[in-house]
């Protein structure tokens, strides 16, 4: 009897395993193409999101001086710097430039724009603006041309000129002044650092600002002092020194290292959310990785059994195919990372104007390597179980016609897979800024995956236990769902996760649109009016059209400078959501509880109260700072610090579309301070068209904001974010479709012999296609229902708990979305069945 070959020595296993893997590569990737495509898509999504966020972040850093327009900026509200403050600012050397910004109505006085008004952002600049970056006007000439034009009149932004038909030489009214349009502004270097604005820019010289009479006691304006430091000066150190020298100035200081903190925070948060969405896409890709490896190894079962029959150990088989799968995964991850690195270039070409700043284009290695690492870990987690099962495959399988079931992976293999998945989750949470949110998102995605896996198992087992239909074709369709080798579970997971994502987005978007469409018009006034001088209140009321709905509140602004006697700059561990400490706050006073507010702690002051300063604070902001009734808070109003005791905490209905304030004072505290009026007006429909012109002519210093225009801008911003989210989610859908196609193709190959036998017994192609149609239509409808349920739960959580909106989805849109998924399943399933039916009967019988 010939002795069995001895097993290959362990020391030689890796080189031999590499040789076997190379031979398999030369034989073709086969089903590993599914692994390649799915992993490429998942890594592409993550690398693309990371590269774009990094490019914008680096753009903010590299262009910090131009975006801020300075090395260091000091911003004051409703006042200019004192002589002592100016001495400190000038003490650092370099160049100082002053400008004043505010909202103002621009009226066309002559030319095509005569009689037309538009709210604009007015910027009065001195002769040294801009100290960094390049401004320009139509016709060129740079900074010198801009300053020359400012000496002749107003310089208006291109958007304003286009909207109102303004041309050089036309006269415009700004406040109480009239001046010619001297040039059209085409480049404003520090525009990006200003954040959200209500209109295009209009520049005038600082010397002509007094002519407009816009700067009055109580007017809402911001005085910016911009410093260009000497070479070698440390902007951060200078900012800290200014803050230390005048801790109670109430100004907002910024340096070029973080020139646009609001933009940075927005980009970071959106980038984090999209990264989590791309991780979900990578999880879907992982399902494809597992299916691709399983399908590939199933077709290689004979080769594996032969290797083991010739003396190859389970370890050798595992190492050989681990090297093969790892090589394919690495190639897919690297190519996906390279394609993802090109996303910033693509976004610049397609939607560059929508970006807050020009991104720093280039290869950003950190997000690329991070995406590759995540991709390889996900591939490891999903590939190890089928690889371990292949290693444990008994050699006798080849002699039993491949009818023996695959063994389950060992506990060790499952531990490796779970460990890799845990590392992915831990890394994702660790690098997130809001780790609780990240953990909740990933936990929700994992729960959905487990639910879909369980649903697939229940579908398969339920189909096996259902009564057998009497008709042949329905009976055949039902048996296909639970027959040996059926891919029912994989199809449910792949299709269900993708459809759940799209159903969730449909629920969120339709609820948000319903909020704007239904809730807002019922509550929103027609116009907001700002900076109405307090002495003009009687004349303003008399000017309004008969039947107008009017609400007026006094308004001041000032920063919070101390909490319970501790300077705001010295507070530790301030929560991210505590915006009350960032910049200036709107302040008001009231004798009664404002409409839309509810006292939740403490009590309101009497109408005739005349004691020490009291304030009522928004309960949510108070909770973030750990404040309660009886604590104190200090604000700076026109350089005067006012410390008030918190008398009550209010629950504020912020979506009431009225004037809501975090801080509301008793009337005696602020009544004598310089203030202006803010008003909401809803004129009769017949008077709405001419309302802006009527108010602007009668009160040139008043800013009129049409609510519909603001809502349109907010809607555009939300739609842009929705496009970004859908783009990232679409990668998950593409990965899901790839998994679906792979599973269907694998299932079709497994059914070739069944179809041949049925055709031999007299079944027609039409009958077999009908059975496949019934199978996939039923499965698609079932998965669509599951996706609609899961998407509804996820959408409800986001809409009601995160966004705090009313749950008002359009079920028709969501239903159409998931039914489209059922249609895709049917089409792809029928395509796979048609291909399988094309196999020649004689050829298949000869091979088997």
pLDDT at 585: 81
Closest CA to 822 of 500, 499, 449: 499
User: Is the pTM for the entire model greater than 0.75?
Assistant: no
pLDDT at 356: 61
- In the chain, what's the furthest Cα-to-Cα distance? 117
Query: For the segment 634-651, what is each residue's pLDDT rounded down to a tens digit?
Result: 998 877 889 999 999 999
The conformation of residue 581, written as its DSSP 8-state character, comes to G
Question: Which of 177-216 are b and which e, b meaning 16 or more Cβ less than 10 Å from the residue's Cβ?
Answer: bbbbbbbbbbbbbbbbbbeeebbbbbbbbbebbeebebbb
CA separation (Å) from 705 to 96, 114, 527, 660? 33, 19, 6, 17
pLDDT computed for residue 407 by the predictor = 58
Neighbours of 579 (CB within 10 A): 12
Residue for token pair 């190639």: 331
Contact 97, 126 (CB under 8 A): yes
| 3-class state of residue 793 by DSSP | helix
- The pLDDT value given to residue 4: 47
Q: Which residues of the chain have pLDDT under 50?
A: 1-2, 4-5, 7-11, 398, 401-403
Start-end of H helices in 140-260: 142-150, 158-164, 209-212, 235-245
Closest CA to 582 of 258, 214, 228, 270: 258
What local confidence, expressed as pLDDT, does residue 716 receive? 66
pLDDT digit string (tens) for 427-458?
A: 777 876 667 777 777 787 788 878 888 888 88
Structure-token pair, residue 252? 């907002």
Q: Which residues, other chains included, contact 411 with Cβ-Cβ below 8 Å and sequence gap of 6+?
A: none
User: Quick one: pLDDT at residue 717?
Assistant: 63
Q: pLDDT over 90 for what percent of the chain?
A: 12
DSSP per residue, 292-361:
HHHHHHHHTHHHHHHHHHTT--HHHHHHHHHHHHHHHHHHHHHHHHHHHHTHHHHHHHHHGGGSSS----
> 733-737: long-range contacts (C-beta < 8 A, 24 or more apart)?
733/498, 733/501, 733/502, 734/41, 735/38, 735/41, 735/42, 735/281, 735/282, 735/284, 735/285, 735/288, 735/498, 736/284, 736/494, 736/495, 736/497, 736/498, 737/498, 737/824, 737/828
Q: Which of 433, 317, 235 is nearest to 20 (CA)?
A: 317
pLDDT at 551: 87
**HSE value, Cβ hemisphere, 13 Å, CA-based, for 621:** 21
pLDDT tens readout for residues 511-529: 877 766 655 555 567 788 8
């Amino acid at each position: 009897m010939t002795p069995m070959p001895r097993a290959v020595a362990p020391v030689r296993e890796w080189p031999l395993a590499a040789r076997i893997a190379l031979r398999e590569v030369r034989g073709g990737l086969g089903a590993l193409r599914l692994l390649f495509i799915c992993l490429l898509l998942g890594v592409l999504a993550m690398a693309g999101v990371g590269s774009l966020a990094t490019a914008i972040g680096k753009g903010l850093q590299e262009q910090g001086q131009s975006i801020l327009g300075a090395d260091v900026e000091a911003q004051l509200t409703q006042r200019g710097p004192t002589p002592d403050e100016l001495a400190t600012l000038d003490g650092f050397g370099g160049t100082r430039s002053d400008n004043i910004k505010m909202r103002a109505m621009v009226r066309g006085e002559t030319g095509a724009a005569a009689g037309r008004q538009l709210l604009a952002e007015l910027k009065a600049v001195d002769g040294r603006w801009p100290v960094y970056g390049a401004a320009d006007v139509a016709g060129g000439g740079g900074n010198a041309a801009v300053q020359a034009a400012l000496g002749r009149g107003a310089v208006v932004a291109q958007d304003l000129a286009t909207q109102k038909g303004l041309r050089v030489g036309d006269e415009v009214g700004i406040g109480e002044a009239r001046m010619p349009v001297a040039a059209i502004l085409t480049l404003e270097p520090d525009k990006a650092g200003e954040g959200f604005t209500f209109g295009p820019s209009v520049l005038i010289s600082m010397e002509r600002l007094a002519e407009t009479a816009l700067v009055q006691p109580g007017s809402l304006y911001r005085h910016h002092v911009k410093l260009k430091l000497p070479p070698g000066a440390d902007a951060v150190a200078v900012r800290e020194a200014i803050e230390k020298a005048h801790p109670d100035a109430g100004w907002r200081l910024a340096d070029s290292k973080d020139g646009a903190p609001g933009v940075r925070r927005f980009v970071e948060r959106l980038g984090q959310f999209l990264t989590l969405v791309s991780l979900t896409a990578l999880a879907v890709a992982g399902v494809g990785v597992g299916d691709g490896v399983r399908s590939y190894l199933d077709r290689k079962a004979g080769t594996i059994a032969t290797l083991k029959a010739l003396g190859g150990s389970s370890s050798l088989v595992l190492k050989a195919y681990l090297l093969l799968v790892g090589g394919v995964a690495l190639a897919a991850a690297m190519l996906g990372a390279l394609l993802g690195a090109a996303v910033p270039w693509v976004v610049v070409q397609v939607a560059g104007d929508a970006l807050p700043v020009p991104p720093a284009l280039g290869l950003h290695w950190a997000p690329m390597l991070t995406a590759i690492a995540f991709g390889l870990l996900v591939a490891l987690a999903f590939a190890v179980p089928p690889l371990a099962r292949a290693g444990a495959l008994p050699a006798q399988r080849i002699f039993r016609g491949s009818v023996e079931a695959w063994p389950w992976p060992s506990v060790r293999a499952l531990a490796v897979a779970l460990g890799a998945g845990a590392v992915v989750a831990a890394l994702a949470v660790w690098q997130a800024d809001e780790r609780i949110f990240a953990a909740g998102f990933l936990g929700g995605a994992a729960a959905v995956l487990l639910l879909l896996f369980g649903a697939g198992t229940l579908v398969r087992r339920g189909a096996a236990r259902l009564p057998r239909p009497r008709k042949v074709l329905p009976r055949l369709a039902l048996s296909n769902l639970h027959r040996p080798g059926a891919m029912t579970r994989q199809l449910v997971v792949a299709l269900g996760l993708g459809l759940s994502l799209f159903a969730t987005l449909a629920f969120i978007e339709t609820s948000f649109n319903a909020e704007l469409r239904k809730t807002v018009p019922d509550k929103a006034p027609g116009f907001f009016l700002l900076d109405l001088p307090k002495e003009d209140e009687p004349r303003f009321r008399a000017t309004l059209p008969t039947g107008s709905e009017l609400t007026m509140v006094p308004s001041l602004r000032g920063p919070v400078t101390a909490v319970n006697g501790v300077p705001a700059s010295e507070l530790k561990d301030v929560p991210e959501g505590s915006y009350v400490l960032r910049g200036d706050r709107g302040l008001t006073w009231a004798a009664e509880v404002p409409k839309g507010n509810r006292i939740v702690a403490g009590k309101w002051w009497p109408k005739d109260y005349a004691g020490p300063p009291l304030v009522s604070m928004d309960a949510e902001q108070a909770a973030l700072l750990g404040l309660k009734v009886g604590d104190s808070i200090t604000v700076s109003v026109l350089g005067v610090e006012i410390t008030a005791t918190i008398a009550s905490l209010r629950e504020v209905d912020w979506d009431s579309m009225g004037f809501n304030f975090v801080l509301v004072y008793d009337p005696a505290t602020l009544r004598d301070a310089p203030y202006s009026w803010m008003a909401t007006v809803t004129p009769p429909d017949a008077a709405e068209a001419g309302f802006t012109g009527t108010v602007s002519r009668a009160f040139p210093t008043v800013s009129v904001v049409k609510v519909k225009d603001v809502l349109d801008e907010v809607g555009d911003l939300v739609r842009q974010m929705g496009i970004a989210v859908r783009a990232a989610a679409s990668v998950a859908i593409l990965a899901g479709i790839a998994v679906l196609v792979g599973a269907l193709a694998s299932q079709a190959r497994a059914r070739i012999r069944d179809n041949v036998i049925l055709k031999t017994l007299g079944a027609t192609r039409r009958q077999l296609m009908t059975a496949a149609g019934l199978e996939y239509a039923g499965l698609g409808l079932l998965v669509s229902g599951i996706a609609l349920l899961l998407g509804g739960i996820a959408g409800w959580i986001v809409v009601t708990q995160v966004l705090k909106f009313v749950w008002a989805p359009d079920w028709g849109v969501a239903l159409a979305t998931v039914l489209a998924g059922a249609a895709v399943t049917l089409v792809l399933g029928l395509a796979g069945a048609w291909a399988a039916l094309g196999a020649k009967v004689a050829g298949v019988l000869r091979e088997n």
